[in-house]
Amino acid sequence: MRIFIILALLPIFVFAAKPVAVVNGQEISKNFFDNSYKRNLMFVSDKKVTPEKVINDLINRELGIQKAKKNNLENDPVVKQKMLDVLYHAQISKDLEPLLRKIKVTDKDVKNYYKKFPEYRTAQILLRVKAQPEAGEAEAALAKAMEVYDTVKKKPEQFTALANKYSQSSSAPMGGDLGFQPAVSLAPEYFAAIKGKAKGYITSPIRSQFGYHVVKVLAKRKFKDINNAQYKKLVYDQKRDKVIEGYFSKLRSKASIKINKNLLK
């Protein structure tokens, strides 16, 4: 019987893995070291990954954790908030990743998307308005935008010169030319004003979060000329956003939520 007990205990001693390092009594296991080493090998770096470097990084990490615990840092409000952020991202990643992997984007999806959101080349004259404008600032910008619009409406050939002179956009030196841009790169009001319009069309002043825009349509890209990979990504993003919206809508339907709207002002 005694021999049996000794033999039964033998595998425990044979297979008990020794720690790679011990820091103030805290072990760094071989398994943890191996996983860390493999992760480091996956990153591109100008520094060579060696076992010695990885174990020293893990020792530094453990020393930092021990000091944080000694200083009771886990109860710091900022640290608590960061930990909640980690939990939030970990949970939604766990829940959403299986759903996102099911998303498929077909050529038909891309074609239907492009019908709704065609790509235009435009030029703009932008009169900026601050997010919190001073008294009279927005009115002055609108007045100048209307003045510019009245001029280019009568003399469209002056659009480039007026953009050079008045536009407060980085595109001003190019006559306001923004090149071709997908709809998602434009302010919603901007795209709505040019959608379906022919080459040469000039909009009346459009108000967006940036200020007032006077926009000229320079061209519309044909579907056969689009960057297909880019638009597949845009369609994927749209489907992804729908999945995420549905996920949180379901959570909200099961939650008790109260919003003090007067405090949002």
pLDDT at 119 over 90: yes
Q: Which of 143, 149, 166, 126 is nearest to 202 (CA)?
A: 149
All CATH 1.10.8 domain ranges of the chain, comma separated, are 2-77
2-77: what fold?
Helicase, Ruva Protein; domain 3 (1.10.8)
Token representation of residue 95: 């829940």
Model confidence at 44, pLDDT cuts 50, 70, 90, reads low
The per-residue pLDDT for 42 is: 85
The partner residues of 27 in beta bridges, in order of sequence, read 22
Structure confidence at residue 265 (pLDDT): 78
Residue 46's pLDDT is 72
* 153-199: pLDDT as tens digits: 999 999 999 999 999 999 999 999 999 999 999 999 999 999 999 99
Question: Given a cut of 90, is residue 207 above it in pLDDT?
Answer: yes
Continuous H helices in the chain: 2-15, 30-42, 51-70, 77-100, 107-116, 137-154, 159-166, 188-194, 228-253
Q: 16: pLDDT confidence band, cut at 50, 70 and 90?
A: low
| pLDDT of amino acid 7 | 40
Q: Classify strands 211-220 and 206-208 as parallel, antiparallel or unpaired.
A: antiparallel
Q: How far apart are CA 206 and CA 163, in angstroms?
A: 15
Kind plus residue range of the DSSP H or E element containing 218: strand 211-220
Mind listing the pLDDT tens digit for each residue in 185-198?
999 999 999 999 99
Residue 12 token pair: 């425990």
Cα dihedral across residues 31, 34, 36, 42: positive or negative: negative
Write phi, then psi, for 30 (nearest 5 degrees): -65, -40
Tokens of 53: 């470097």
Write down the pLDDT at residue 6.
42
Asked if residues 223 and 117 have their Cβ atoms less than 8 Å apart, the reply is no
Element (H, E) at 211: strand 211-220
Confidence of residue 47 (pLDDT cuts 50, 70, 90): confident
Give the phi and the psi of residue 35 in degrees, each rounded to 5: -65, -40
What pLDDT does 1 receive?
Answer: 46
Q: CA geometry: angle at 246 spanning 243 and 248, to 5°?
A: 110
CATH architecture type of domain 110-225: Roll (3.10)
Alpha-carbon distance 179 to 120, whole Å? 8
Q: Please, where in the chain does CATH 3.10.50.40 lie? A: 110-225
- The pTM for the full model equals 0.74
